[in-house]
Amino acid sequence: MTDVTLLAVENLRAGYGETEVLRGIDLAVKAGEIVTVLGSNGVGKSTLNRTISGIVRAQGGSIRFAGEAIEHEKPPAIVARGLIHVPEGRRIFPNLSVRENLDLGSYARAKPRRAQNRERVFGIFPRLRERAGQYAGTLSGGEQQMLAIGRGLMAEPKLLILDEPSLGLSPLLVEELFTLIKRIHDDGVAILLVEQNVVQSLEVADRAFILAEGQFAMSGTAAEIGADPELKRTYLGL
Ligand SMILES: Nc1ncnc2c1ncn2[C@@H]1O[C@H](COP(=O)(O)OP(=O)(O)O)[C@@H](O)[C@H]1O
Ligand SMILES: [Mg+2]
pLDDT of residue 92: 94
What's the rounded mean pLDDT across residues 123-144? 96
Shared domain for 202 and 144, answered yes or no, is: no
Residue 53: helix, strand or coil by DSSP?
A: coil
* Whether residue 30 is found in the same domain as residue 72: yes
Please give all residues whose CB falls under 5 A of ion ligand 2, grouped by chain where several chains appear: 45-46, 88
Tell me, yes or no, whether 73 and 3 share the same domain.
yes
* Domain tally, the chain: 2
Structural domain of 177: 1-82+158-238
pLDDT, mean of residues 220-238? 81
**Is residue 155 within 8 Å of 105, Cβ to Cβ?**
yes
> For a substitution probing ligand 1, which of 12, 19, 197 has the most ligand atoms within 8 Å of its CB?
19
- According to DSSP, the β-strands at 34-38 and 207-212 are parallel
Q: Whose CA is nearest to atom 2 of ligand 1?
A: 16
CA 219 to CA 231: how far, in whole Å? 10
Q: Considering 106, 129, 156, which residue would you say is the last residue of a domain?
A: 156
User: Residue whose CA is closest, atom 9 of ligand 1?
Assistant: 47
Per-residue pLDDT of 71-120, as tens digits, reads: 999 999 999 999 999 999 878 999 999 999 999 999 989 999 999 999 99
Ligand nearest to the CA of 48: 1
75 and 164 inside one domain: yes
- The response to whether residue 67 sits with its C-beta less than 6 Å from ligand 1 reads no
Domain end call among 114, 129, 156: 156
21 lines ligand 1 (CB under 6 A): yes
d(CA 45, CA 236): 13
* Nearest-ligand number for the alpha carbon of 42: 1
The verdict on 70 and 20 lying in the same domain is yes
Separation between Cα atoms, residue 186 and residue 17, nearest integer Å? 40
Q: Is 68 in the same domain as 107?
A: no
Q: How confident is the model at residue 186 (pLDDT cuts 50, 70, 90)?
A: very high
